[in-house]
Amino acid sequence: MDLKKVERVYSNYAGVYDHIFGRIFHESRESAVRRLDIKPNERILEVGVGTGLSLPLYPGYCQVVGIDFSAGMLRKAHERIQSHGLENVVLLRMDAGRMEFEDDSFDTVMAAYVVTAVPDYRKVVTEMIRVCRPGGRIIMLNHFSNGNKLIAAVEKVISPLCKHLGFRTDLSLENVLEGTSLLVARNEKVNPLRLWHLVECVNRKNGSPSTSH
């Protein structure tokens, strides 16, 4: 996958994303945000904000920045912000692999259905770590390849097809975390079909403590 192709695919999805993927993934997305225990004035970055389905779920007392590379998706997200009157949310068009933020800019970084939908997940994860403060949280809601050999074999076979749709199926959580400063604090399977993982990590860069809240 290259970045321009991903942008084109997801911009084409923008008009129908909420009706198709939104219904499938909403329960997991809502569960992820509800479990954050967000503090007043907490700085939150949502990577791959898409059409902004999760934005109304954040409490008004936190500060949310949503980024996406798809202009089509961001147009829908802007419409959602206006319709819900979300004054605590800012949207920016940005490449998640080359973020334009200073180091340690956020307390929490959320990436829902993102890591397996980008051309280079290592760049994105590295950037998420960079912009998240030491001791902060990085949340990934994603499908990761299953340890079951039969399912893993199927995932590997269909992965090339899925790449044309803008995501891959053969990426494991171990691959994503390898060589990073992230410590897994929670890893739960969530709906639909419990094939998606809600993974909460503590950003232990610079020798930060293993707890952030």
d(CA 93, CA 109): 16
Confidence (pLDDT) at 164? 43
Confidence (pLDDT) at 143? 76
Confidence (pLDDT) at 111? 94
Domain boundaries along the sequence of the chain = 3-204
**Who wins on pLDDT, 188 or 21?**
188
Fold of 3-204: Rossmann fold (3.40.50)
Q: pLDDT digits over 89-106, tens only?
A: 999 999 999 999 999 999
Buried b (16+ CB within 10 A) or exposed e, 176-209: bbeebbbeebeeeebeeeeebbbbbbbbbbeebe
CB of 116 closer than 8 Å to CB of 124: no
E-only strand ranges, the chain: 43-47, 63-68, 89-93, 106-112, 132-143, 182-190, 196-203
Share above pLDDT 70 across residues of the chain, in percent, rounded to a whole number: 70
Confidence (pLDDT) at 163? 47
Q: pLDDT digits over 166-187, tens only?
A: 455 567 888 889 999 999 999 9
Q: pLDDT digits over 18-63, tens only?
A: 545 555 566 777 888 888 999 999 999 999 898 888 999 999 999 9
